[in-house]
Structure 1
């Protein structure tokens, strides 16, 4: 064996970050559906048919509790409702939900 110093290997983290950012450019224009779920309720069809204008459906969440944020029907985060302007609501993410990829 020779005593020559081998060329140092590139930092794998840098290579992975650059490759990943470049690879993501291909998906930037793909549309996804984002849903913010305030809460859920279960009821019988007969109860649903009796609902009319002004009816209140009690949800499984409490006032001030985080709402679920879904992308393409997959839970990705939790957040809070915020006022965007006088006529529109928005959602601010407060927690990213780690999910098991095997699901």
Structure 2
């Protein structure tokens, strides 16, 4: 039986986005603040291998930061990648 123990997935959490000219980015120094297009209460986007899979809320865990998943995004069968190596 196959095991998933050795499979790694790159997880990314995106707080928000913005657009700015390169010259503005190059002028930024330590302590600069980048305004994002989200409010404090907005969900963050959770990606697995660059695919959006869930939404969540940022939580404080003592001195650490975590993400509490609020919604798992299901993909329609016609959007899922096709397997070519046989049945599941």
TM-score, length basis structure 1 = 0.69
Structure having greater relative contact order (Cα 8 Å, sep ≥ 6): 2
Unmatched 5+ stretches in structure 1 = 1-21
- Relative to total residues, which structure has the larger helix share, 1 or 2? 1
What is the match of residue 80 of structure 2? 101
How far, CA to CA, are the matches of 1:93 and 1:67 in structure 2?
Answer: 9
Q: Highest Rg: 1 or 2?
A: 1
Aligned residue pair count: 78
State the secondary structure of the residue aligned to 2:37.
coil
- Residue 92, structure 1, aligned to residue 68, structure 2: yes
Q: Which runs of 5+ in 2 are unaligned?
A: 82-88
Structure 2 length-normalised TM: 0.79
Q: Secondary structure at the match of 2:57?
A: strand
RMSD: 1.5
